[in-house]
Amino acid sequence: MQIVFLGTSSGAPTTKRNVSGIGLRLMDRGAWWLIDCGEGTQHQIMRSVLNISQLEKIFITHLHGDHLYGLIGMLASRSLRGAETGGITLYGPKGIDEYVQAIMRISPVHLQYPLIIKVVEEGIIYEDDTIVVEAAKVKHRVPAFAYSMTEKPRPGAFKIELAKEAGIPKGPMYAQLKAGGTVQLEDGRVFHGKDFVHPPQPGLKVAFSGDTIPCQNMVRLAQGADMLVHESTYVHQHLELAERSGHSTAKQAAEIAVAAEAKGLLLTHLSPRYDIEDGPITLDDMLQEAQEVFLNSQIAQDLCVYEVKRTRLL
C-alpha cells in the first residue's frame, strides 16, 4: 500500500498545497482509490505517480466543497481516455447521488464507463477476498464519515525447497500442500501442508479521518492502523477556532493516534495560515506539537508517496 497526497490544504489551495484529495495505491490490485476530490485534483493526479485510468473507487468523506468540487471534472476528463478505463464506484454520504446527478443533468456529461454511486451508512461498505472497507460517522458541521481499509491476511509462502528436498513431485501435490492438505507418496511417506507453508502474513490497515473534531468513533475505526491519516487543521493554540469550525488540532490528532494504538500518523487538511515560511506559527511548530504526543507523526506533503509498511514488533 502507498498513500499519495494530492492535496493537503484545508478550505482553499495555496501555491504549494491543493485542497483535499488522497490516493491509496493498492499495488497487488494494479489499481488505486481516491479519498475526497477537491477542485484541481485531476491536475494533481497528472503530476503524481498515479494513473487516472487505474482509479477504481472514490470515497467522499463529506459534502463540503474543498473535498468535492473536483469530482465531476475529474470523472469527465477520465472519460476522454475512452476504452482503456474501467468503471468507478463512488461512495459518499447521503446527498452525493443527488449532487452528481443534478450537475450531470444540468451540464450534460456522457461518461464512457459505468459510474455506480453508493450512499454509505456506518459499517462495512465494501469487502472482497483481499480487503475490507469500513465507514464510521465522525463529528463535523455536516454529516461526515471516516474510512478504514484493511487488507485480509495473505496465505503464507510455500516452502518449495523443502518440498523438493522431500522428493515430492511438482504439480497437484504441491497444490494440495499449499491448501493445507495431506499427501502420500508412492513410497508410503506422508506429508502435511502445515509443515510446508509459512504462517499467513497479516494485511495492512489504513484509516482516513476526513474532517472531524476528536471523537471516539475515530479511535475505534483506526484501532491498530499501520497508518492513520488524520486532519490537523489547526495548532492547539487555535483550539477555539478548531472547535468552532468542527476541526482538530495537531495535538488532538496525535492523541487519537495514541488512543487507537496506530503505528504512524500523517497530518493533513492544514490551514493555509501556517503555510507561510516566516509566519508567526509554521508547520514545523505544528509537527513539533504532534510529535510531543506521538513521535511517529509527519506533516503530509502534496505529491509525496508514503509507503505503508508493517511495523515489526520485537
Binding residues: 62, 64, 66-67, 140, 211, 269
Distance of alpha carbon 270 from alpha carbon 74, whole angstroms: 23
CA distance 101 to 253: 35
> HSE (CB half, 13 Å, CA atoms) of 220?
10
CA distances (Å), origin 37, targets 65, 72, 162: 9, 9, 50
Residue number of the CB closest to Zn ion reads: 64
Return residues touching Zn ion (CB under 5 A): 64, 211
| 48 versus 209: smaller Cβ distance to Zn ion | 209
Q: Sign of torsion, CA 141 299 205 27?
A: positive
CA distance 149 to 31: 14
**Residue 279 CB neighbour total at 10 angstroms:** 12
Please provide the size of the chain in residues.
Answer: 314
Radius of gyration of the chain (CA): 23
As annotated, the binding site for Zn(2+) includes 62, 64, 66-67, 140, 211, 269
What's the CA gap between 247 and 229, in Å, rounded? 14
Taken in order 31, 34, 40, 44, the sign of the CA dihedral is negative
CA separation for the pair 9, 3 (Å, rounded): 16
Cβ proximity to Zn ion: between 64 and 178 the closer is 64
The beta strand positions in 8-128, using DSSP E, are: 21-26, 31-37, 55-59, 88-92, 115-119, 123-127
Residue 292 dihedral angles phi and psi, to the nearest 5°:
-65, -25
Residues catalogued as catalytic: 66
Give the DSSP per-residue string, 184-220: E-TTS-EEEGGGTBPPPBPPPEEEE--S-B--HHHHH
Residue type, 262: A
Q: What is the Cβ-side half-sphere exposure of residue 166, based on CA atoms within 13 angstroms? A: 24
